[in-house]
Amino acid sequence: MSGLHRREVMAAAIGTGITVCAAVRARAADPPARSGKPLVKAGIAAYSYRQQLTGSQQPTMTMLDFVRLAAETGWDGVELTSYYIPTPVTQAYLADLKRLCFVNGLQVAASSVGNVFTHPAGEVRDREIAKVKEWLGHAQALGAPVLRVFAGNVQAGQTPEEAERCCIECLEACCDRAAETGVMLGLENHGGIVAEASAVTRILRAVKSPWVGANLDTGNFRTDDPYADIAACAPYAVTTHLKTEIQPPGGQKQPADVKRIVQILADSGYRGFLTLEYEGAEPVAAAAPRTLAAIRQAVAALS
């Protein structure tokens, strides 16, 4: 927004008795405004190494090991998935993790939490909201600019519309905490009520806060045209997960077109991370470096 336009909005708000904050919130459902040319940075999520970080018997990797490996491989940033951070979470551990990223030249692209936001009002919903608010604080401590959150499935006795309304209410309940911490909420298209792009964008438009956007996952649309759904959500994306495969409904898994995905992001004006969240059958040790090279090549070829 130009300085002149910003002043005009403020003057109009004051003249009609609306606060500047309310005027900004009224526009908050729009995709985030971005300045400069498109920018796609390459990141990797700790989730990609979930087998090593959890292990069927004994973990073979810690989060600190993951950060070092990401630096050695050449990634620009890391997503520090909450599942693999030792509990109880301590500020000292988060500080050590943040420091290790910094001294290795890695940005903390995001953090992520597991939650369900489709419960009706009550104790269960309150616990889910409290969990997300707690992790907004942890994400702030890590230096993560965005926290991935889920929507959830339709609960027993609910209609899809009721589940969607619950999700909107839960997101809105977390917005003030997001603003306090300076950490955005990234709603992932993770099946359930957000299996289609139209549902993701409808929810985001309903939440009147600039602190909520999309955590776009390129592999989670099981639709006839996943790339069209990616394009529909890209303007709202505040961080993006790259899956190496896509799977149309009733079809076989097929390799994702990384070059096409990067071009879609660029066409939307995206400036942020494309973070590998690896789920393929090939060992991640081989797949991750090759995917990084594919991202670099796609970015270099942007038209």
pLDDT digits (tens, 9 = 90+) for 120-163: 999 999 999 999 999 999 999 999 999 999 999 999 999 999 99
Say what the pLDDT of residue 240 is. Answer: 99
CATH number assigned to the domain covering 31-300: 3.20.20.150
pLDDT over 50 at 17, yes or no: no
CA distance 271 to 278: 22
Average predicted confidence (pLDDT) for the chain: 92
Map the chain to HEC letters: CCHHHHHHHHHHHHHCCCCHHHHHHHCCCCCCCCCCCCEEEEEEEHHHHHHHHHCCCCCCCCHHHHHHHHHHHCCCEEEEEHHHCCCCCCHHHHHHHHHHHHHCCCEEEEEECCCCCCCCCCHHHHHHHHHHHHHHHHHHHHCCCEEEECCCCCCCCCCHHHHHHHHHHHHHHHHHHHHHHCCEEEEECCECCECCHHHHHHHHHHCCCCCEEEEEECCCCCCCCHHHHHHHHHHHEEEEEECCEECCCCCCCEECCHHHHHHHHHHCCCEEEEEECCCCCCCHHHHHHHHHHHHHHHHHCCC
Say what the pLDDT of residue 18 is. Answer: 36
Q: Model's pTM, two decimal places? A: 0.90
Q: How far is CA 227 from CA 114, 200, 222, 230, in A?
A: 26, 15, 10, 5
Say what the pLDDT of residue 4 is. Answer: 37
Say what the pLDDT of residue 252 is. Answer: 86
User: Model confidence at 14, in pLDDT bands (50, 70, 90)?
Assistant: very low
User: Model confidence at 13, in pLDDT bands (50, 70, 90)?
Assistant: very low
Mean pLDDT over 49-69 rounds to 93
